[in-house]
Amino acid sequence: MPRLLLLLLTAASLACPQEPRLFAGGMVPVSGPTGVAFSPDGNTVYFVQLRQNIMSSHLENGHWTAPRPMPFSGPWRDGDPSISPDGRHLFFWSARPLDGRQRTGNAIWVSDRTPSGWSEPRDIGVAVNGPDGGAAFASVTNDGTLYFFANRDIYRAKRTADGYAQPENLGPPVNSEANEFDGYIAPDESYLVFASDRPGGFGQADLYISERKNGAWTAPRNLGPKINSGDSECCPAVSPDGKYFFFTSQGRRNGIFRIDIAALGLGPARPYADAQLFEEGLSRLPAHSASPSRPKAARSISPSWPPPS
């Protein structure tokens, strides 16, 4: 990284008064690339435990309840839960078979909130997942546009009446010759935070931000040394009240961290729901059995994705 750019990033980081803090005191075990997702009211958190189960915990009387597995998660590897801004849909990637056939890559599934709870998940369709899987890390906008990554790039697909339109590669400057993955899109589509191992970063993979201005993406900006380390950062997310940025760091400081949204350099918080995240509650998730740290697993991408036009 050029010295001047590194100094500028460091200065910008120092301007942010808060250091990253472990979410829930580090009680959410990080045994792979996984992050957190919140319901729009901030009272439920979803995450992955032991690299397989999607768990949930609820904020009750100022305390987080003991995490419990989601009823549809467990037999197969599931990962990277994400909640739609309206709270009605829970997206995640899964290695589960489709119609009895095991695919070569992971695929994105969705569960719908119903009066009786979360529905059985359904595959979101061949337009996104392709015939053999290969898509992961879903993030959804207010109008239902789906952002995800596949084949080392970040894509988006518009919602249609019966599923999703043909995905669009975001292209440069977001995508590059390197690997781009784990894209979190702001609900109003005003900015995108994503991970990349492009040259010039602080570690193996860094988090970058690109803003959407006049219909085009700005040159990605490295989020600096307060967020990025000499190891690998991934799984970005923002709390529903727009006050906190969450990310996962794998390596020496292994864990899920949160920091004031000011660290993104976007100005005032941009809430997308009438949400209340309780400051004390964020540090009071009950302890549960943790697993040892493991190296980052390779993302499974099917060579047949995307499907032909």
Where do the domains of the chain lie? 3-283
At residue 64, the pLDDT reads 78
pLDDT in tens, the chain (309 residues): 444 444 344 444 444 447 898 887 665 656 566 788 999 988 899 998 866 789 998 888 877 788 889 999 988 899 999 999 999 999 999 999 998 888 888 999 999 999 999 999 999 999 999 988 899 999 999 999 999 999 999 999 999 998 999 999 999 999 999 999 999 999 999 999 999 999 998 989 999 999 999 999 999 999 999 999 988 899 999 999 889 999 998 877 788 899 999 999 986 656 655 444 333 334 344 433 333 222 233 333 333 333 333
Structure tokens at 147: 């952002």
How confident is the model at residue 35, as a pLDDT?
Answer: 81
pLDDT at 62: 76
Q: State how far the alpha carbon of 237 is from the alpha carbons of 15, 17, 96, 138, 309, in Å.
A: 21, 20, 25, 11, 32
pTM of the model: 0.82
Compute the half-sphere exposure of residue 221: CA atoms within 13 Å on the CB side of its CA: 19
Query: What's the N-to-C CA distance of the chain in angstroms?
Result: 39
What is the third-level CATH fold of 3-283?
Neuraminidase (2.120.10)
Per DSSP, helices labelled H in the chain are 3-15, 126-129
With CA atoms as reference, report the closest residue to 80 among 35, 40, 139.
35
Q: What is the DSSP letter of 137?
A: E
CA 110 to chain CA centroid, Å, is 15
Pairing of β 78-83 and β 36-38: unpaired
**From the CA atom positions of the chain, what is the Rg in Å?**
18
Q: Quick one: how far is CA 144 from the chain centroid?
A: 16
What integer pLDDT is reported at residue 58 of this predicted model?
Answer: 87
272 DSSP 8-state letter: S
